[in-house]
Structures are given as C-alpha cells and as structure tokens.
Structure 1
C-alpha cells in the first residue's frame, strides 16, 4: 500500500491509482443519492470522489467500502512504490487535479508545501520539484473544509527534505548556497522562497521557514535590521548573520533615455515605475524618500504596480513595462541596466537560535557561506560586498 507521513494507509488519488467507486456502486445498485445518505456525506462530495476531483479520508473510505460490501483496496488500488505524505499548503493555492509541482519543507515537525510556480517564472523552469500535489485531504464529512491539507507524492527522499534549509527573502543569490553544498557532497540543500523583508519575518514567526532575509533601515539611527527586529521579534530568541551589503538605488533603462537624475523625477508624468509589494525593503525605502522629498505617492505613475521580487522589477524595465524601479545594484548588473545609488544596505539572515542546534542542515548552510569559493562567486555577481558574510551580528 501507499505510504503516508504518519505510517497509516490512506485512500488517495495518485499516479497509478485505480478508482473503482462508481463501478462498484452501479454493480451494487445504489444511486449516488442513496450511497451518499448511507455514508453520511453529500451527494456532491460523492460525485467529486467518483470523478477524481476530491480525495476521501480514511474514515469515509472505510464507510464507502462497508456499505458496498468490499474492502477499501477493492475501491482504490495503488502502486506499491509511491511515497505519499500529508502536508500543509502555504503560499498560492494551485488547482486541484492538475498534479501541481511543489517544493516541500520540514519546519518544526510540520511538513509544508508550496507551488514551485510561486518561485517566479525563471525558477519555475530551473528548480526541481520535491513532489506533486495530488489533492486535498478529506474530512470526515468529505466537505472541503480544510483546503490547506493536501496529499503530496514525493519525488525525492523525505530525509533529503528534512535536511533542507528554507530561506525567505528577496535576494536570489541565496540559491547559489545550495548549489555549493551539493558540489561539495553535502546532504543539506537550500530552498529560497522569494518575498519581501516583512513577509519573510511573518513567515518566520508563523513557523513556515527556517531563515528570514531582511534589509530594513531605521532612518532615525541609521542602523539596519536590528532596531526593526528588536521591535518586531521581541521575545523571540534569534541569531542574526550578515549575508552581504549592497547599494540600493534606481534601476533605469540602459543609457537612461529619460534622463532620470534622482527620486524627485518620479513625480514626472512621463515616467512609469514598477514598485515592490508593501513590506519589501525597496518599498519602505521608496516611501521614506518620497515623504522626505514632499512627493505624494498618488502622483507617482505606476506606484500601485507591484512585483514580488527584485528580478521582476528589473525584467519589467527591460521589457518596457516600466521606466524605473528600486532595486539592488546586482539586479542592474544582471539586466544591464543603468543604476543611480540611493543608499548602502545590509542584508542579514535572521535564524531562530534553536535551529543552530537542532536543524540537521543549518550548520552546513552557514559553513558554506564563509567558504572562499562561495564568497568569490557572490562578489563576481557584481554589486555585492561580501566582506562580512557569515559574521554573527547579534
């Protein structure tokens, strides 16, 4: 039988599953309404199960089998080598029945799944999936009341997933750490979930990631990240590790055809900008500079146009969807854009201190950051200053 994360046998839809429910019901002589009433589920739920649109839980599968005078295996049969787990879906919810590709993470004993498509257009075609989403976990009434619990068919060993370090943040260079670990034969891996600084911290507080990458300045003191963390994570024991410093500034089309000179030009009606989402470091910087310059956000054309990543902002400018955006100098190097610096920023990794002791892949991840080869590659990207990478800040 198919394995599940709890060692129990579940009736589920997966590759190689044969669903004989409708065939058996018709042979016994029950209508859909009669069988639904006998098993105490809705007729709509029974129809969905028969059409492979919904997955029954163990109790419902046993009731169906009992009233049809057969075993669960007579209704649903499986491949013997399919490894199935139950996981909680986070992020965007993909359509059921499409066997969507997902990344899977183990955080504090919780198995979490996130659609690979949430990583963005480029990474969707370069990052391999950990598994395939098969459908929602059924409830006792077969009503879709728990849409976040899903069945996942694993495409890699669960042990590898448990050694994976999940990093939320906006710096795409974090993916290189996982590749360096792999090249040196390490059994850890790195999964980067792209999101802004505030969203990354929220994901950390919800227990959905192991590490949050942030770059938030306290404009009163000029300090990065620590004042914000002392306020936002008060009472949480975390370790802050420096990843890199970079210049944050205006990204512009090559040659600066509209002759942008600074933040004040964003009020011009002939400029379209691509913004980041609320809570992103770039968005916080923009709002501060607009207020300092006396520019109302409503007069900035494109202020409400949002990208969820720095690479998305750069791509929008290259494709002509925007004239300007705020991002790191490294993004400008990647897309061959012009760049006007606004401030130097420090990008730090925030890690719950307990993970330094209990996570099987965390120390290997941190050790990789300070290797000569990794630092050389980060510097070669352009726009990064890695002198303090791996330094414990607090």
Structure 2
C-alpha cells in the first residue's frame, strides 16, 4: 500500500477506534476550547482542504471544530503540523471555575450569562441583561450562587479578562468607546456600566470599577469634578484625565413651543419638568441654574415635575419627546438623538477619574488610546454638543 494511503488508513483507524469518534461520546459542553477554525481560516483553507491535507473528511473537521468530537492525540498533532502551529494553539483545557462578586440588580442564580473583570484582587460578574445583553458575547456562565458570591465557568480566554477594565459613567460615548475597542485591537477591553456621576464615583470607591466618567459642577468653588472626587475618594491618589467638554442645557420639544430660554422660565411654574436622579450631574446643574434665578431648595420642590426623576440622559429626552414633560436638564446630544430642540446654558467638563493604581491598566489605556482616535472623534462630534481637545491628558491629581 502506498505510504499516503497507509497514512490515511491509519488516521481513519484512529478516528474509528477512538471513543470520541463523532457522536459516539458527545456532551453539550466540550471538555476543550477549540481554536481549529480560527487557525484554519488564518491559513485560508476550507474544511475540505484541511481535511485532505490531514487525511480527514470535511465532516470530521467540522465535528472537531464544533467540539462534537475530541480528536485523538495523533490527529491533534497532525492537524497542528499541517497548520504550522502548536497543539496548544488549537486545543486548550477550559479555565477552572472562579468565584466572583455578583453585580446584578436582582439576586444571583445559576445559568446566567455574565461578563467578567478583575478589579484589584477580586472578580466581578456583571450580568448580561435586556436587548443589549442578547447582542453581547458572554465571558462565562454562573453555576452556583451563595449570597453576593457566584461561581462562574469562563467561556473565553483568561488573558482577555485580565485586560478588561470596568468604567462607569452616564455618557453613552463611553459605550461607543467600548464598542470601538471591540472593532479594533487596542490591547485591552472596556465594560461600560451606565451610572450617574455620583453613583459612578461611589462604585469606584467601593472597588467595583477601574474608572469613573463624571461631570459634577461645584457651584461654591466654580470647579468641576475635583471637589466631588476629594469628598468621595479622600485619601487616595486619583488622576483626573480630560475626556471632552459638552454643552449642557434644557431639552425641549421641537420648535420650543413654550419659548423656554432659561431657568427664569422654569421658575414661572408654567413649564413641566422631568428631573434626573439625585447625584446626576445634570440635576446638580439644574439646581445651580435655579439658585441663580432665585429659586431656592424649598421652592424647587413645588415646581411642576421637579420631583419626577429618570435614570439617564436619553430617558429624560424621551419623556419630553413623549409629551410627559416640557423640559429636562441634559446634554445636547440627547436632544439631537430624539429630534428635539435644545437651549444651551453651560459648557461643562467631562473627565475620567482613575485611581493611581489603575492608570496603567491595559483596559484604561486602551480606552484613552481609542478616545484619541480621529475616527472616534469624528463620530462623537456628529452626535452633537461635544468639544474634544487633548483627550486622555492629565488635568490634575486629587489626593
């Protein structure tokens, strides 16, 4: 028998005699992480072409790539030789389960898809929820829950998880930055967690994030962000890095039918407001504007809609768009996003607060690199109201 035919017969014998041949021993969960497809496509080979070179059928290659078949040692070595890589590149044992702090709104339960990140010495499990969660690949599945802790079986590469930064903040441009990192290799990954500015800072203070985006204007000092950082993270060295400025003001209906021009119109009581939650930067600004118009705290409570709160800039704009309110404090991009009008009142800093120990984190550095990208800046400016100068530059260190 010719040598090539002997090889094919030998390989066929390996497959047929293996207890893992095709579906003979199958499991809904493969005991291996299989990267064969990625390396095959990198070599520009079809399944049939790789099978021909390796003495296997196209169907056998498909079974191995999908994890339905675990190859014998001999087959794995031959596939690696054909592709010019190591066996460890093609096949790897799954990472062992890890223990993580549950950071979902409700109680933890088994079988939940989560994203993972290491903050300090601990792991965080962030559940994938809602429509966005259905469109995002999970890092792991919860297998056991015990109070605030969960056991998670990782689905991805451990190295990717260690390069992942959790960034909290209210500006969806942070989410846009995170998505940019998904399209390009910046050496790190970012998980954006929407949160109002004060909540973002407190999440950072609890050790549940690497960085916080914030816009908190202090009317007493006329300074942005630094006073709040001193108050919430006192005793830690925190780097305040410039991201961008944005235009803040009042979101109103198309055509501005009530002719709203500023806080004095709100003081009249004829304009129905929708407000942001306590700790949101836009609510802080609204109170500052009303103070300047002579509307003090006790009187503000009686303004129509002042005590009606929503949790995000887009929710505030949506309330105006749906006729539930006549005006809402917020940034220009939120008004533009829903085809509303906007009354500009104040330009404001939006900074990234990063504790000193996380400044060099790969995910944080990747976010800053992406923020400096001309392509991202062009896209962000198109959202409306943003002025982008020197993103990622150190503004000050707050201790």
What is the deviation of 1:174? 1.0
Aligned equivalents of 1:167, 1:134: Cα separation in 2: 26
What is the deviation of 1:109? 1.8
Provide the residue aligned with 1:340 in structure 2: 343
Provide the residue aligned with 2:214 in structure 1: 214
Provide the residue aligned with 2:385 in structure 1: 383
> Is the Cα contact below 8 Å between 1:250 and 1:342 reproduced in 2?
yes
Q: Which runs of 5+ in 2 are unaligned?
A: 1-27, 30-92
The answer to whether residue 186 in structure 2 is matched with residue 186 in structure 1 is: yes
Provide the residue aligned with 1:29 in structure 2: none
Aligned equivalents of 1:339, 1:306: Cα separation in 2: 19
Aligned equivalents of 2:127, 2:267: Cα separation in 1: 38
Q: Which runs of 5+ in 1 are unaligned?
A: 1-14, 17-79, 138-146
Change (3 A) 1:245 1:127: farther
Q: Per the alignment, in what secondary structure is the counterpart of residue 191 of structure 1? A: strand
Q: Per the alignment, in what secondary structure is the counterpart of residue 363 of structure 1? A: helix
What is the deviation of 1:151? 2.5
Provide the residue aligned with 2:314 in structure 1: 311
Provide the residue aligned with 2:114 in structure 1: 102
Aligned equivalents of 1:267, 1:129: Cα separation in 2: 48
Q: Return 348-357 or 313-322, whichever deviates more.
A: 313-322
- Correspondences of 1:44-55 after superposition (within 5 Å): none
Change (3 A) 1:122 1:263: farther
Provide the residue aligned with 2:145 in structure 1: 136
Question: Per-residue displacement from partner, 1:39-89 (whole Å, max 9, x unpaired)?
Answer: xxxxxxxxxxxxxxxxxxxxxxxxxxxxxxxxxxxxxxxxx9696332111
Change (3 A) 1:126 1:333: farther
Provide the residue aligned with 2:370 in structure 1: 368
> Is the Cα contact below 8 Å between 1:314 and 1:332 reproduced in 2?
yes
Aligned equivalents of 2:153, 2:326: Cα separation in 1: 43
Provide the residue aligned with 2:356 in structure 1: 353
**RMSD over equivalenced CA pairs, Å:** 2.5
Aligned equivalents of 1:127, 1:297: Cα separation in 2: 42
Q: Per the alignment, in what secondary structure is the counterpart of residue 223 of structure 2? A: coil
Structure of greater Rg: 2
What is the deviation of 1:269? 5.2
Q: Per the alignment, in what secondary structure is the counterpart of residue 354 of structure 1? A: helix
Aligned equivalents of 2:183, 2:319: Cα separation in 1: 33
Provide the residue aligned with 1:298 in structure 2: 301
Q: Per the alignment, in what secondary structure is the counterpart of residue 227 of structure 1? A: helix
Aligned equivalents of 2:139, 2:306: Cα separation in 1: 36
- Correspondences of 1:222-261 after superposition (within 5 Å): 222-261=222-261
Change (3 A) 1:300 1:131: farther
What is the deviation of 1:211? 0.5
Q: Per the alignment, in what secondary structure is the counterpart of residue 294 of structure 1? A: coil
Provide the residue aligned with 1:53 in structure 2: none
Aligned equivalents of 2:336, 2:309: Cα separation in 1: 21
Provide the residue aligned with 1:116 in structure 2: 128
> Is the Cα contact below 8 Å between 1:136 and 1:148 reproduced in 2?
yes
TM-score by length of 2: 0.69
What is the deviation of 1:270? 5.2
What is the deviation of 1:221? 3.4
What is the deviation of 1:271? 3.6
> Is the Cα contact below 8 Å between 1:330 and 1:382 reproduced in 2?
yes
What is the deviation of 1:336? 1.4
> Is the Cα contact below 8 Å between 1:267 and 1:301 reproduced in 2?
no
Change (3 A) 1:126 1:297: farther
Question: Per-residue displacement from partner, 1:256-301 (whole Å, max 9, x unpaired)?
Answer: 2333232233345554322211111011112222233233222122
The answer to whether residue 310 in structure 2 is matched with residue 327 in structure 1 is: no
Question: Per-residue displacement from partner, 1:210-233 (whole Å, max 9, x unpaired)?
Answer: 001111122233221223333443
What is the deviation of 1:194? 0.9
Question: Per-residue displacement from partner, 1:132-161 (whole Å, max 9, x unpaired)?
Answer: 344413xxxxxxxxx211223434333222
Provide the residue aligned with 1:272 in structure 2: 272
Aligned equivalents of 1:132, 1:167: Cα separation in 2: 22
> Is the Cα contact below 8 Å between 1:94 and 1:115 reproduced in 2?
no
Q: Matched residue pairs, number? A: 304
What is the deviation of 1:124? 4.1
TM-score by length of 1: 0.70
Q: Per the alignment, in what secondary structure is the counterpart of residue 175 of structure 2? A: helix
